[in-house]
Structure 1
Amino acid sequence: MLHKALRSFGLVLLLITTLAAGAVSGARAQTTEAPNVADTLLVQLDQIEATLNRDGLSEDTFSELRSSLSDIEAKATAQKSQVQPLLQEAKARLEALKPAETKEGEEAATEADSLKTRREELQEQVTQIDAQLKLISSSLVRAEQLNNRITLARQDRFTRQLFERSGTILNPALWLNGLSGSVTTWQAVTTLFSDWGRYLITRAADHIWQVIGVILIVAVVIVGPLRFLLFSGLRRLSNLEDPTALQRSLYACWAVFVYTIVPVLIFLAVILILDNADLMPRRVEALMSELGSVVFTLSLSYGLIRVLLAPSRPTYRLLNISDSDANKLYGIALTLLAIYGFEITLDETDQTLLTPLETTILLSGIASILTAILIWTGQRVMINTTPQHETPVDESLTLPSGFNLPGFLRLLQPFIWIACLVIGLAPILGFVSLGSFLAMQLGRTFIILGLLGIFSALIDNFLNEELETGNTAAQKISRAMGITPKTVNQFSVLFNGLMRILLYVGAALLIFTPWGVESTGFFSSLEKAIFNIQIGDLSISPINIVGALAVFIVTLVLVKSIQRWMEQRLMPATDLDTGLKNSIQTSIGYVGFILAAMLAFSYMGVNLSNIALVAGALSVGIGFGLQSIVNNFVSGLILLVERPIKTGDWVVVGNDQGYVSKISVRATKIETFDRATVIVPNSDLISNRVMNWMHNGSMGRIIVPVGVSYDSDPEQVRDILMRVASQSDQVSSYPSPSVYFMEFGASSLDFELRCFIHDINSSLSAKSDLRFAIFKALKEANIEIPFPQQDVYIRSMAAPNKPIPPELPPETPPTQQTEQTSPKSDGHQNAEYELNDGNDNDSGEGDGDAAATA
């Protein structure tokens, strides 16, 4: 038994030793691989730098160098991510082997020689790995510097070519040489095609029927049916009587696709047939390959013009302009398209046809001047256009949705003036390349903006019509995913914004690429910004931040699930009191929050000991006078986490009340009903009493007191009040309204109508509407609403008689009377005041004072 145990222990020990040795050897292997990679990268960087030092580099050379640098940066970044963990592990092992610190006067403890040897080995390993890591970092820095050199060199080359001065088109010699060169170029074109015709006859003489058969098969089997399908779908979309915004957008996209793809497919089919039959000479093949981009650009531009202006289909016109203006712009646009096609054809076929320089300068200058004139005329028509509809039928009639095109053109009018002026004057001043470049880029910009507007309108209309709250598609998605239709609508708005950002970024890259902005450089910078931001020795990765945020949210969701389970299942099964149950659940929430934060920091690779140091430094600052600031800061965090109040709530703080407009780090802003702003420190909201009318929702209760006369029937009054409350749209049916007979008042029977309304913000208007309705209902039922009233009676005593002679019998003295009347049933109160004679006044002055009797 003991023998078996020892044998098992020996096998386990051998396995552990083997694994440890493999790990050490693997680490050493990675360490030895790092120098080779670093040396290779340095050699490649030296070669690229040597190439950059040459003169006369072409655009293709710059692109190849930029691609090589991107590969080097990718390799260096990958190698750096592999070496950094090795360095951290080696440093951690070295830190564990450090000797214990000794105090002054104490002797250092002796340690084994093997421990010293191992520490020296680890120190050497740390030094080697750190050196390789620095070499790799140096390679990354050098690659970035070379990238900047390439960018500057390309910009310098672009500027020199753009502002290179040629002959002005006002020079008669240029016209003579240019016209003669045009004749020569035309003869070269006719000669090329005549030679090609003879070549076709010679090559196809033996198998002419095979070629014709292939062409017929392609035309009948492929091109014909495909063209029929494409245009039949276009006709179905265009024959709708009252198309919706989405149907207009679909028609626009489909029409652009059809008008673009059909000519391109026909051109490609012809080229493929001729190429496979070996019926194209080398020069014709080069010319056709250059004309391919011309066919695509012209087809796409024509489709955009037909869709945006739609001279024959006003219902499907995407621009809100009149028919006459659409026809004018259609003619201008087709003329511009012809000039633009001529310019790009001249530019693409320049090397194949060997066009003379004077001819190119002359034709490009004339085309630039005509382009400037036509663009100026077109923008004037657009600015002064008459809208087809006073109010657009839908938002898809503008580009993009809700976009006022004439107003936008008025905003851009100074820039269009400058562009037309530069394009028109540049050939006259001798800068033909500048004018031609600006004219071609302006046409390219119009094409890109047209596509951007069409796709933006399609996305907007699709999301608005198909995923709108209450729509069938939104309800299906909400049922399938278990979310509310409102949430589906919110996600659709978010998706719309994301797609807009992608479209705008893509359009900007396409527009600015000819100006020296490279998509590769943009995406490289974007990749660095997403995956690695280097600030000194600190490396920040937004991807890691997003992952840490996901870890934090998932952990909080798990904690909330545990709290909900305890609240619904565990706590009801115990005999603990309510206060202790709440304390336990709250404590679990705090512990879960701290745990989620620690896991998130660990995922990002943040050393928690550094956080402890920062917290210690903050504690010292708090002790030296930051108590109030930290108090407000922590109170603000509590407000944001516990949410006793939130933005938009109606709160009462002391003598102030209003809506919470903003909760910041230090204070909370409350906007009163008088539009004044009250700034309350966050600590006051935590430590003092705050009444929140909307803490549990927008529903609230209102009380409407009503008093009726004593002659009224209380049950009838109750029924009237209940009926008025039930007929109000603002009063909630659950909880149901109620009427209470409160007391017998001095002049009335006092009732209270208590009811809940859907939105407490409208409590004042709800009370007012209920009072109007109650007054009308009580008046129709002849029920009186009493009010306190007093009747005052003033009775004077008779005037005093003259002195009576002694011989005469005395007259009967005047009597003093007091009347009291009982109050009426409606609360009418009577009171009498009597005026005593002057004899009752001890001073004997005037008529006496008035005394009131109850």
Structure 2
Amino acid sequence: MLSRFCAAALILLAVVLGVAPGAYAPAAHAQTVAETAPDYARWERLATQVEDAIEDPRVADGELDTLRGQVVDARARFLAAQDANRARIDTLRSQIEVLGPPPAEGGTEVAEIATRRTELNEQLSRLQVPGLAAEEAFRRADGLVSQIDQVLRDRQADALMTLVPSPLNPANWQSGLNTLFSSFVAILGEVQNNWAEPRLRTEFQANLPVILAYLLFAGVLLTRGRRWMEQLTERLLNASTTLRGRNVWALIVSLGQIVLPLAGVLALAEAVKATSMTALTGEEILDALPEAGFVVLAARWLGGQIFPAAGAAYAPLNLSLERRREGRLHSLLIGVVLALDVLRVPLTAPDLQPPGANAMISFPLIVVAGLLALRIGQLLRLHAEARPQPDPGLSFFDRMMGIVGRLAMVLGVLAGVLAAVGYVPAAEAVVYPAVMSLGLIGVLVLAQRLVSDIYGMITGTGADANEALVPALVGLALVVVSVPAFALVWGVRVTQLREVWQSIAEGFSIGGTRISPSNLLTFFIVFVLGYTVTRLIQGGLGTSVLPKTRIEKGGQKAIVSGVGYLGVFLAGITAFATAGIDLSALALVAGALSVGIGFGLQNIVSNFVSGIILLIERPVSEGDWIEVGGTMGVVRSISVRSTVVETFDRTDVIVPNADLISGTVTNWTRYNNTGRLIVPVGVAYGSDTRRIEAILNEIAEAQPLAVVDPAPAILFMGFGADSLNFEIRLILSDVAFKLAVMSDMNHEIARRFQEEGIEIPFAQRDIWLRNPEALRATPHPAPTPERPAPPSIPPHEPQEPGRPAPPPRRIDPVMGSRADLSDAKLPDLGSDDGAGSGGGDGR
């Protein structure tokens, strides 16, 4: 199990460093396999051996896995052999097609053609034999691989669900203690037996200086090596001078906290081996000691990075100093538990011990590992709950840490329960992958931090690199490539991963065309190169060539855009051809998809075609003043789908290109900048119309933007309800200044009319009461609680002799009369022949 964790860690380390040897090894292997011709006799022997092994339950899993790897290699050769003589077969088929269809039953054809058709068909049959044989062998190999996988899955399921004696039963404690005691006694007996041999004792005395040197070297590195690296890391982080990329160098130097003590562990193991006092059991333990030491040191270093102490420059988790200290302790204890599990196998030889003894020995380690996973999960949940989450997009990491924390807690408790019941193998398959997955997640977090720091060091952005796009994309790629590492941890075999990689390398088929990652990579490279060349040509045309021609700006833009579309199209066709992707084989698939896509994207396609028409016909160009669909503004850009119009209040309106082609568009400045301006003017009744005409003509002719031919026109339009209506009509040389000219002319009209004493009227109405005395004669109804009495209207003052009668009361059209007439019987409000009715002269 720990070896899988080490392999997974190495995969992640190789990916981060950009080496990734495991990623390229399967491809090289596949290439070697493809170049080897199938040996069908050897394959028959291998297939028979595999079929016998599948039927024999005594065959070990490791042997089945080895046989599976050999079958997978043979299957890859058979897949490559299926394309044997492919070019010659295609040529023969085209030759047969040239001869025309064969005659119908009972029909005849020319003897020469019949003879040639027979020869070509015989050649075709002979050339198809290797491919058919390879296809038959491929299907048999594929079936054998499936059978082996099924057998291994069934065995693994049976092993996981094996119920052993419960370790909580005191009756099993004695066998477990006896196993441990006998293991230590066996080691001690090996030492005593070797010491009793004079030859080995002499060898020990001869190697004593080497042993002491190893021990001294191991003691220094184990006691001081980690402290030295910690001090050097702190100096890099706290250096007063500016060191670009100090976080990167500090993280790299901190790896010495693993390397130096691990070198001490290796020296210690070599010192013990040099004594010649160990035998089989001791040597197995010494061989496992470096792996156990690496696990402890790596867990301690990873805990220090994820749960840093006070003053650290980077803390990925939002936890208090006390919780961080607790996290570092739990990380170290996880490493110790995993190391003890590594040493347990060579020490106790579980395959030779009764199940109850193995369960009793494994149970304490499982329980401690489950508790540690539970506590680490609680710390992750504390982090997720402590971080504010105003924006869900920014709290993805926090949410994921909360989910991982919950899973770690559940798996930790589940492992302890399973082990207590007696499902010890299932508990081991749950708790150890769980804690190792937590370690791999920590490695991913540090890898993302390293990528951001390197990007910041290269670009000089510093801490802002965490918000950049490139580190985010690289981090996403790291998550994707870490999937094989997690698969190894959770029990997936290396051969299965290798097979998956081979399947990916072989690609997939669409419409008879096989597309592999190499095809996609070739397509991407060629397309990017073509796109880059297209952009360079566009830049040269737009900045150097076209500005020196007489083509207007809109035409230049259309040419540049057309070159861009043509270049992208040619780049795509060239990329398909270079990658070896046969587009004719995809024609049927594309035709079927185009029907459904056409209905869903018909508006987009319509806008795209309209954009092409706009660029070719150019009824609208950038910089034109247009009005379409109630939107008026200046065209800022024309893209393949829409046109951006900037209105006069500086807002951008996106207009679909189809509206510009199918709708009514007013273009004020497309072919010329001249345009007509109409300024309405109203004067009071009684004004001298000829004088008004002269004044307005002087104002119009004084405008600098008014053209001379045709001259401005002053028109008397008619008699309005409140005014005599005139219009000034003139042609402007630049219609873009239409509103400014209108404003200047209105100012001038107001000034001249004030000087000439000409009144500019405003609308008003007079309302006259014909017989107001009827208001006094109307009796009011009796007041009730629901209907109070209306306010009284004071009578008119008595008329004095010789004094003219007061005018009728005027009701203001806005404020109304001061008398409340709501309940009074109103008299006839007149507008009869003029007896008391309001005139409409507006005065």
Shift of 1:276: 7.0
Aligned with 1:237: secondary structure?
Answer: helix
- Residue in structure 1 matching 2:149, options 148, 151, 164: 151
**2:516 counterpart of 1:541:** yes
Paired letter, 1:54: D
**Whole-angstrom CA distance in 1 between matches of 2:831 and 2:452:** 97
Question: Which residue of structure 2 lines up, in the alignment, with residue 422 of structure 1?
Answer: 414
Question: Which residue of structure 2 lines up, in the alignment, with residue 325 of structure 1?
Answer: 323
**2:474 counterpart of 1:498:** yes
**Whole-angstrom CA distance in 1 between matches of 2:316 and 2:241:** 15
**2:236 counterpart of 1:237:** yes
State whether residues 641 and 657 of structure 2, in contact with CA within 8 Å, keep that contact through their aligned partners in structure 1.
yes
Shift of 1:129: 2.0
**2:629 counterpart of 1:654:** yes
State whether residues 370 and 413 of structure 2, in contact with CA within 8 Å, keep that contact through their aligned partners in structure 1.
yes
Question: Which residue of structure 2 lines up, in the alignment, with residue 50 of structure 1?
Answer: 52
Shift of 1:202: 0.3
Shift of 1:429: 1.4
Paired letter, 1:159: A
Shift of 1:460: 2.6
**Whole-angstrom CA distance in 1 between matches of 2:561 and 2:639:** 24
Instruction: Give deviations 1:228-254, integer Å, cap 9, x for gaps.
Output: 975563342354589999755654554
Aligned with 1:539: secondary structure?
Answer: strand
**2:201 counterpart of 1:178:** no
Instruction: Give deviations 1:320-373, integer Å, cap 9, x for gaps.
Output: 322222334444444444334323321343329966654321121233233334
Aligned with 2:135: secondary structure?
Answer: helix
Distance 1:382 1:600, change over 3 A: closer
State whether residues 366 and 415 of structure 2, in contact with CA within 8 Å, keep that contact through their aligned partners in structure 1.
yes
State whether residues 181 and 356 of structure 1, in contact with CA within 8 Å, keep that contact through their aligned partners in structure 2.
no
Shift of 1:598: 5.0
Question: Which residue of structure 1 lines up, in the alignment, with residue 360 of structure 2?
Answer: 362
Question: Which residue of structure 2 lines up, in the alignment, with residue 65 of structure 1?
Answer: 67
**Whole-angstrom CA distance in 1 between matches of 2:222 and 2:169:** 50
Paired letter, 2:76: A
- TM-score with structure 2 length normalisation? 0.61
Moved more, 536-545 or 192-201: 192-201
**2:606 counterpart of 1:635:** yes
Shift of 1:498: 3.4
Question: Which residue of structure 2 lines up, in the alignment, with residue 450 of structure 1?
Answer: 442
State whether residues 42 and 139 of structure 1, in contact with CA within 8 Å, keep that contact through their aligned partners in structure 2.
no
The count of corresponding residues between Structure 1 and Structure 2 is: 653
Aligned with 2:411: secondary structure?
Answer: helix
Aligned with 2:319: secondary structure?
Answer: coil
Question: Which residue of structure 1 lines up, in the alignment, with residue 78 of structure 2?
Answer: 76
- Residue in structure 2 matching 1:91, options 85, 90, 93: 93
Question: Which residue of structure 1 lines up, in the alignment, with residue 496 of structure 2?
Answer: 521
Structure 2 matches for 1:137-536, cutoff 5 A?
A: 137-195=135-193, 202-204=201-203, 206-208=205-207, 210-211=209-210, 215=214, 230=229, 233-237=232-236, 239-240=238-239, 247=246, 251-252=250-251, 254-255=253-254, 257-272=255-270, 280-311=278-309, 317-351=315-349, 357-380=355-378, 383=381, 410-411=402-403, 415-464=407-456, 466-467=458-459, 493-494=469-470, 496-506=472-482, 508-534=483-509
**Whole-angstrom CA distance in 1 between matches of 2:212 and 2:364:** 45
- Residue in structure 2 matching 1:121, options 119, 122, 128: 119
**Whole-angstrom CA distance in 1 between matches of 2:531 and 2:381:** 56
**Whole-angstrom CA distance in 1 between matches of 2:167 and 2:294:** 31
Shift of 1:62: 3.1
Instruction: Give deviations 1:248-284, integer Å, cap 9, x for gaps.
Output: 56545543x2232223212223444665786654443
State whether residues 154 and 516 of structure 1, in contact with CA within 8 Å, keep that contact through their aligned partners in structure 2.
no
Distance 1:457 1:125, change over 3 A: same
State whether residues 376 and 420 of structure 1, in contact with CA within 8 Å, keep that contact through their aligned partners in structure 2.
yes
Distance 1:123 1:578, change over 3 A: farther
Structure 2 matches for 1:25-44, cutoff 5 A?
A: 37=39, 40-44=42-46
Instruction: Give deviations 1:578-607, integer Å, cap 9, x for gaps.
Output: 999999988877776665565455446566
Aligned with 2:285: secondary structure?
Answer: helix
Paired letter, 1:161: A
**Whole-angstrom CA distance in 2 between matches of 1:331 and 1:563:** 62
Question: Which residue of structure 1 lines up, in the alignment, with residue 814 of structure 2?
Answer: none
**Whole-angstrom CA distance in 2 between matches of 1:158 and 1:276:** 40
**Whole-angstrom CA distance in 2 between matches of 1:285 and 1:742:** 103
**Whole-angstrom CA distance in 2 between matches of 1:201 and 1:40:** 49
Moved more, 408-417 or 431-440: 408-417
**Whole-angstrom CA distance in 1 between matches of 2:834 and 2:763:** 30
Query: Please, which runs of 5 or more residues in structure 2 have no aligned partner?
Result: 1-34, 648-652, 668-736, 751-759, 769-801, 805-829
Distance 1:149 1:600, change over 3 A: same
Moved more, 122-131 or 412-421: 412-421
Paired letter, 1:339: V
**Whole-angstrom CA distance in 2 between matches of 1:83 and 1:253:** 53
**Whole-angstrom CA distance in 2 between matches of 1:317 and 1:559:** 46
Moved more, 286-295 or 410-419: 410-419
**Whole-angstrom CA distance in 2 between matches of 1:248 and 1:615:** 51
Distance 1:793 1:609, change over 3 A: closer
State whether residues 325 and 386 of structure 1, in contact with CA within 8 Å, keep that contact through their aligned partners in structure 2.
no
**Whole-angstrom CA distance in 2 between matches of 1:466 and 1:743:** 58
**Whole-angstrom CA distance in 1 between matches of 2:138 and 2:329:** 55
State whether residues 203 and 279 of structure 1, in contact with CA within 8 Å, keep that contact through their aligned partners in structure 2.
no
Aligned with 1:349: secondary structure?
Answer: helix
State the identity as a percent: 20
State whether residues 373 and 412 of structure 2, in contact with CA within 8 Å, keep that contact through their aligned partners in structure 1.
yes
Shift of 1:68: 1.1
Paired letter, 1:74: A
State whether residues 96 and 120 of structure 2, in contact with CA within 8 Å, keep that contact through their aligned partners in structure 1.
yes
Shift of 1:181: 3.2
Paired letter, 1:349: L
**Whole-angstrom CA distance in 2 between matches of 1:311 and 1:592:** 57
Instruction: Give deviations 1:539-593, integer Å, cap 9, x for gaps.
Output: 3335435534554555566567667777788889999999999999888777766
Shift of 1:51: 2.7
Shift of 1:165: 0.7
Paired letter, 2:80: A
Q: Please, what is the CA RMSD of the aligned residues?
A: 5.9
Paired letter, 1:202: R
**Whole-angstrom CA distance in 1 between matches of 2:515 and 2:563:** 32
Shift of 1:127: 0.9
Distance 1:342 1:229, change over 3 A: closer
Paired letter, 2:292: V
Distance 1:382 1:616, change over 3 A: closer
State whether residues 383 and 409 of structure 1, in contact with CA within 8 Å, keep that contact through their aligned partners in structure 2.
yes
Aligned with 2:163: secondary structure?
Answer: coil
Shift of 1:426: 1.8
Instruction: Give deviations 1:758-814, integer Å, cap 9, x for gaps.
Output: xxxxxxxxxxxxxxxxxxxxxxxxxxxxxx9969999x9xxxxxxxxxxxxxx9x9x
Shift of 1:423: 1.7
**Whole-angstrom CA distance in 2 between matches of 1:332 and 1:91:** 70
**Whole-angstrom CA distance in 2 between matches of 1:589 and 1:377:** 59
Shift of 1:167: 0.6
Distance 1:136 1:371, change over 3 A: same
